[in-house]
Amino acid sequence: MIEQNIEVDINDSQIGLRPRDDFYTGKYIHRSSHLILFNSKNEILLQHRTPTKKWYPNLFTYSVSGTVANESYEECIEREMQEEIGISINVKRLFTYPFFDTLDKAWRCVFIGKTDDNIIPDAREIQEIKWMDADELKRDILKNSDIYSPPFVEGMKKYFNEFYGNEKQIRN
pLDDT tens, residue by residue, 118-156: 999 999 989 999 999 999 999 999 999 999 999 999 999
Query: Of 69, 73, 71, which Cα lies nearest the Cα of 4?
Result: 69
Whether residue 92 is contained in a domain is answered as yes
| pLDDT score, position 119 | 95
Whether residue 147 is contained in a domain is answered as yes
Whether residue 169 is contained in a domain is answered as no
| pLDDT score, position 93 | 96
Contact 48, 124 (CB under 8 A): no
When divided into structural domains, the chain yields a total of 1
Whether residue 131 is contained in a domain is answered as yes
Q: How many helices (H) and strands (E) does the chain have?
A: 4, 8
Whether residue 172 is contained in a domain is answered as no
| pLDDT score, position 64 | 76
Whether residue 170 is contained in a domain is answered as no
Q: Judge if pTM exceeds 0.85.
A: yes
Contact 35, 64 (CB under 8 A): yes
> 105-114 and 29-38: which strand pairing?
parallel
Full residue range of the structural domain in which residue 95 is found:
4-162
| pLDDT score, position 168 | 45
pLDDT at residue 171 above 50?
Answer: no
Contact 153, 147 (CB under 8 A): no
Residue 5 neighbours by CB distance under 10 Å? 23
Predicted confidence band of residue 39 (pLDDT cuts 50, 70, 90): very high
- Cα dist from 111 to 33, 51, 103, 156, 167, whole Å: 7, 25, 23, 11, 16
pLDDT at residue 23 above 90?
Answer: yes
Residue 157, domain CATH: 3.90.79.10
Over the chain, what is the mean pLDDT? 92
Whether residue 51 is contained in a domain is answered as yes
**Mind listing the pLDDT tens digit for each residue in 84-122?**
999 999 999 999 999 999 999 999 999 999 999 999 999
Lowest-confidence pick of 27-41, 101-115, 155-169:
155-169
| pLDDT score, position 167 | 42
pLDDT at residue 166 above 70?
Answer: no
Contact 86, 64 (CB under 8 A): no
Whether residue 168 is contained in a domain is answered as no
Predicted confidence band of residue 68 (pLDDT cuts 50, 70, 90): confident
pLDDT at residue 49 above 70?
Answer: yes
